[in-house]
Copies of this chain bind each other. A is one copy, B any other.
Amino acid sequence: MEDKSIGRLVSILYRQSQVYINHALKDLNISSSEYIFLMALYTNEGCSQEKLSSLLHIDKAATARAIKSLEEKGLVLRVNDENDKRAYKVFVTENGQSCRGIIYATLKGWTNLLTDGMDEVTINIVFDALQSMTEKLQNTDYTESSADSGGNAEENR
């Protein structure tokens, strides 16, 4: 039905990445829906829960679930915001910091698996095309909410 649907392939690859990451981070007891928040916090220490939600384009309920779970696992710590008692600032604990190397290595392992056996020229064409798509989309106002998203934490990986 959808010929040459790059969107469909991106969606399949993303889901496959979640299975890979779940497996790779199993021993750390970190799920694919949680690691992304640790990644964002490594470069945005003390970020509010609301800001995390908007940075990652993940809804507030799912953000709250993930942060609560990470806190229960002792990987992050929520601290009441002095300026807004209803808001939380989120910090990575020492245990959370100790996962950093493995998380980065896992993501590198995933990309290596994706491109394994592909020639450099093709890798570069695919990388440049996907990068130009993400940049174009960041500047496309196709939703009402895109104006207040303020960038993408994954850019910092």
Q: Interface of A with B (CB < 8 Å)?
A: 1-2, 4-20, 22-23, 36, 56-58, 104, 107-108, 110-111, 113-118, 122-127, 129-134, 136-138, 140, 142-146, 149, 152, 154-155, 157
Contacts and interface: CB of A to CB of B under 8 A. Distances in A.
Contact of A7 (B12, B111, B136, B143): B111
A7 B130 contact: no
The interface residues of chain A, by DSSP majority, are classed as helix
Contact of A127 (B6, B13, B22, B142): B6
A111 to B, nearest CB: 4
B107 A9 contact: no
B23 A143 contact: yes
B127 A9 contact: yes
A49 to B, nearest CB: 17
Given A4-B111, A4-B124, A12-B154, 18 more contacts: A1-B157, A2-B107, A5-B108, A6-B126, A7-B107, A7-B110, A7-B114, A11-B17, A11-B154, A12-B155, A18-B57, A19-B57, A23-B142, A113-B142, A117-B136, A118-B132, A126-B126, A126-B129
